[in-house]
Amino acid sequence: SQQGEEDPQALSIQEGENATMNCSYKTSINNLQWYRQNSGRGLVHLILIRSNEREKHSGRLRVTLDTSKKSSSLLITASRAADTASYFCATVLANSGYALNFGKGTSLLVTP
Amino acid sequence: DAEITQSPRHKITETGRQVTLACHQTWNHNNMFWYRQDLGHGLRLIHYSYGVHDTNKGEVSDGYSVSRSNTEDLPLTLESAASSQTSVYFCASSESRPGATTEAFFGQGTRLTVV
């Protein structure tokens, strides 16, 4: 069964607005990662947050992690049309090597 | 530049045929993975390898096999293709460092249709 679940499944916003996506997971993790997938393409790594971290920033991306609630959020500030893509959270389970467990993704549409 | 490539990009095959999807990476990564992506399911792990001659089953391994004879390649074989295996397949690789997990690099995907 899949470890992560993103919410919402789909999100539509206008350029300049912020986009927030959430991810919940089930078991203890080593780290949580966010990936982006443009239509018809492979996944691209965006950001990684370790289980002992609470917040991380990278450019217009902000990720939070709450291990007590087993949840994470990805915030994209000042969205652009080029941010239109699907976003996936992926977890690496504690004591489980390097394999990533993906959620079903959030489809983000940013309109001009 | 290092990269990970999949071939073919598109494949149509008949039910019952054996099919092999290729994955080649020049990152010199020890870890390699195969996922399938289907609408409503996201990405699901099929098989993975943490080094030469190491292979492990993932969540949806039935009907698939892999072998790792060198660092660069992890071919995925569908022993007897079924319509349920129509999907988009992604290969990925990552570095292995003790005590840390690094980002995965993905290929562009292979769209497989079983008719």
For residue A32, the surrounding DSSP H or E stretch is strand A29-37
Task: Write out pLDDT tens, residues B52-100.
Answer: 999 999 989 999 999 999 999 999 999 999 999 999 999 999 988 776 6
Task: Write out pLDDT tens, residues B17-43.
Answer: 999 999 999 999 999 999 999 987 889
Taking the Cβ of residue B40 and every Cβ of chain A, the question of whether any pair is shorter than 8 Å is answered with: yes
Nearest to A88 among B42, B96, B108 (CB): B42
- CA pair distance A6, A103, nearest whole angstrom: 6
Nearest to A99 among B58, B102, B109 (CB): B58
pLDDT of residue A3: 65
Helices marked H in chain A: none
pLDDT of residue B69: 98
Question: Do the Cβ atoms of B42 and A105 come within 8 Å?
Answer: yes
Average confidence (pLDDT) over B47-52: 95
Nearest to B41 among A48, A92, A104 (CB): A104
DSSP SS3 for A24 = strand
B3 vs B100, more confident = B3
Confidence of residue A95 (pLDDT cuts 50, 70, 90): low
Q: Is the pLDDT of residue A86 over 90?
A: yes
Counts for chain B of helices (H) and strands (E), in that order: 0, 11
Q: Is the pLDDT of residue A44 over 70?
A: yes
Confidence of residue A92 (pLDDT cuts 50, 70, 90): confident
**Backbone torsions φ then ψ of A81, nearest 5 degrees:** -55, -35
Confidence of residue A79 (pLDDT cuts 50, 70, 90): very high
Question: Do the Cβ atoms of B106 and A43 come within 8 Å?
Answer: yes
Taking the Cβ of residue A31 and every Cβ of chain B, the question of whether any pair is shorter than 8 Å is answered with: yes
